[in-house]
């Protein structure tokens, strides 16, 4: 097939409805794998993707994206050369084509054989990378949280409005069939009017110790890893996962895992921005370099519409209601509980089981990399359909920002020790100069995100 010019190709990608685009789980013909379909399809039928950040969650996403028949990963971008090499090898096995290594994702954004950027780097990179990709004319699959601070979230909204690209946040439960069914039942009045949602996450994470300043490893570009964040010395207990617990790069358990369940709670209650936010907790379990809370309870009030709580326990894994992760909606006529997986139960006011919908796919809610690969493929293909066919996103950047903002406000309340009064029209903090200092952040000079 003669190579299409870039303008024609973009038009084709946006509007064509191919057999591959219609495929879903269970839609692949007997005897054919996703790889088989990928070989049948012409290269111009696929969305070409650059992966940014492939050590942990990003590696799982790279595996998932490269197994989709309507996708080809063309570049792998990581500041850790070891992680990049490992990912390239796995992707090559999945798609029978070897992606190229491009350590600096910004260079990949200049290439014509990139339609979309998948951002799975640390939290401080999420919004800045998505903004740069948008300005380069690329679509973005953006892991949660969509931003490190509220101001970045609002910049993302402005960027999407200006450049008209597709940005899907990776809160994958928005595409899980039984979660969608549960919310539909909730909105249909199965428990009457829901007015309170309780969400939680429990784990048993070890201490990260006291880090030592050492030379930067030869396999790591630490300067690019820090990117927009103010520079600090390299310590041996930061990479690769522990950055979550440092405010300079991470956002704590609240945004690491809380975003998922708080998003479902907000979706179920049908609320946008709160009126009041409080938080209690701290770093209680160990005395080490961990800065964010290991125990935290955030309370979000939405006037007379109801309230949401999030309980995060990073160092005590005792389940709540039999689940390590979950959300319960309390209503006029009963409760609806969405569990850690793709399942839910409904009880009446007498605690009698009314309905139970079970998951039929393997899910490990505490997995750090890929809790639910098959289900997450539905979210990925929704992203592709939005690019190709204009299908509505299951988690567009507005809803992603609104849910991310809720837990960001919880962290701001925690860090200031204040009860925050919030404007329910836009989520802005009212009459609190101390709290407003956390609305944005200090950036390394020259790295400030702009529209």
My answer on whether 133 and 168 are in the same domain is: yes
**Long-range pairs of 336-345 with CB within 8 A, sequence gap ≥ 24:** 336/182, 336/185, 336/186, 336/190, 336/191, 336/194, 336/268, 338/179, 338/182, 338/264, 340/365, 341/365, 341/372, 342/176, 342/177, 342/178, 342/179, 342/372, 342/375, 343/178, 344/178, 344/179, 344/181, 344/182
Residues of the domain holding 36:
6-174+378-389
Residue 52 structure tokens: 């940014």
My answer on whether 350 and 383 are in the same domain is: no
237 domain-assigned: yes
Q: Where are the extended beta strands (E) located within 219-314?
A: 276-282, 295-301, 307-313
Q: Which of 283, 292, 205 is nearest to 249 (CA)?
A: 292
Domain with 254 in it: what CATH number?
3.30.360.10
Q: Are 97 and 89 contacting, i.e. CB atoms less than 8 angstroms apart?
A: no
295 domain-assigned: yes
Q: Are 52 and 121 contacting, i.e. CB atoms less than 8 angstroms apart?
A: yes
What single-letter DSSP state applies at residue 190? B
144 domain-assigned: yes
My answer on whether 186 and 203 are in the same domain is: yes
* 28 to 23, 69, 311, 362: CA distances (angstroms): 7, 10, 40, 20
* 144 to 152, 269, 330, 358, 395: CA distances (angstroms): 13, 21, 26, 26, 11
Q: Residue 8: what pLDDT?
A: 41
Number of structural domains found in the chain: 2
* 292 to 245, 295, 298, 384: CA distances (angstroms): 5, 9, 14, 35
139 domain-assigned: yes
- Residue that is written with structure tokens 């600096």 in the block: 104
Residues in the chain: 451
My answer on whether 118 and 192 are in the same domain is: no
* 168 to 143, 201, 270, 346: CA distances (angstroms): 8, 23, 20, 30
Q: Residue 60: what pLDDT?
A: 94
My answer on whether 161 and 181 are in the same domain is: no
Q: Residue 340: what pLDDT?
A: 87
> DSSP alpha helices (H): ranges in 214-353?
222-226, 252-256, 258-269
298 domain-assigned: yes
DSSP-assigned letters across all residues of 362-425: ---TT-SS-S-HHHHHHHHHHHHHHHHH-PPPTTBHHHHHHHHHHHHHHHHHHHHT-PEEB-TT
Q: Residue 363: what pLDDT?
A: 56
Q: Residue 15: what pLDDT?
A: 39
The tens place of each residue's pLDDT in the chain, 451 residues long, gives 333 444 444 443 343 333 333 333 333 333 334 444 444 444 568 999 999 999 989 999 999 999 999 999 999 999 999 999 999 999 999 999 999 999 999 999 999 999 999 999 999 999 999 999 999 999 999 999 999 999 999 999 999 999 999 999 999 999 999 999 999 999 999 999 999 999 999 999 999 999 999 999 999 999 999 999 999 999 999 999 999 999 999 999 999 999 999 999 999 999 999 999 999 999 999 999 999 999 999 999 999 999 999 999 999 999 999 999 999 999 999 999 999 889 999 999 999 999 999 987 665 554 444 557 888 999 999 999 999 999 999 999 999 999 999 999 999 999 999 999 999 999 999 999 999 999 999 999 999 999 9
């Amino acid at each position: 097939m003669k190579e299409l010019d870039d303008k024609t190709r973009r038009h084709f990608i946006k509007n064509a409805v191919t057999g591959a685009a219609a495929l879903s789980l269970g839609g692949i013909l007997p005897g054919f794998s996703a790889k088989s379909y990928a070989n049948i399809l012409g290269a111009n039928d696929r969305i070409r993707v650059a992966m940014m950040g492939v050590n942990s969650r990003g590696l799982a996403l790279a595996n998932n994206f490269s197994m989709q028949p309507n996708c080809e990963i063309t570049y792998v971008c990581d500041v850790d050369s070891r992680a990049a090499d490992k990912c390239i090898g796995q992707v090559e096995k999945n798609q029978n084509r070897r992606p190229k290594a491009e350590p600096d994702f910004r260079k990949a954004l200049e290439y014509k054989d990139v339609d979309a950027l998948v951002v799975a780097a640390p939290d401080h990179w999420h919004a800045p990378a998505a903004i740069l990709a948008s300005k380069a004319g690329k679509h973005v699959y953006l892991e949660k949280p969509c931003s490190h601070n509220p101001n970045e979230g609002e910049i993302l909204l402005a960027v999407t409005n200006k450049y008209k690209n597709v940005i899907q946040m990776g809160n994958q439960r928005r595409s899980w069939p039984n979660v969608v069914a549960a919310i539909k039942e909730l909105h249909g009045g199965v428990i009457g009017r829901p007015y309170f949602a309780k969400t939680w996450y429990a784990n048993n994470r070890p201490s990260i110790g006291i880090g030592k300043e050492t030379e930067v490893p030869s396999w790591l570009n630490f300067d690019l890893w820090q990117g927009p964040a103010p520079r600090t010395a390299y310590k041996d207990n930061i990479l690769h996962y522990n950055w979550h617990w440092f405010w300079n790069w991470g956002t704590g358990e609240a945004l690491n895992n809380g975003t998922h369940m708080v998003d479902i709670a907000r979706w179920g209650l049908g609320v946008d921005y709160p009126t009041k936010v409080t938080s209690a907790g701290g770093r209680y379990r160990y005395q080490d370099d961990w800065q964010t809370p290991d125990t935290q309870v955030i309370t979000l009030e939405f006037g007379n519409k109801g309230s949401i709580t999030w309980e995060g326990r990073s160092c005590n894994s005792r389940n709540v209601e039999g689940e390590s992760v979950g959300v319960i909606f309390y209503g006029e006529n009963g409760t609806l509980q969405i569990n850690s997986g793709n399942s839910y139960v409904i009880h009446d006011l007498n605690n009698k089981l009314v309905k139970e919908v079970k998951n039929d796919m393997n899910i490990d809610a505490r997995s750090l990399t890929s809790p639910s690969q098959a289900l997450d493929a539905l979210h990925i293909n929704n992203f592709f359909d939005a690019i190709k066919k204009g299908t509505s996103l299951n988690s567009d950047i507005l809803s992603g920002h609104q849910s991310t903002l809720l837990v960001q406000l919880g962290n701001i309340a925690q860090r200031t020790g204040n009860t925050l009064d919030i404007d329910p029209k836009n989520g802005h903090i009212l009459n609190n100069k101390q709290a407003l200092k956390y609305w944005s952040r200090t950036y390394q000079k020259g790295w400030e995100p702009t529209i």
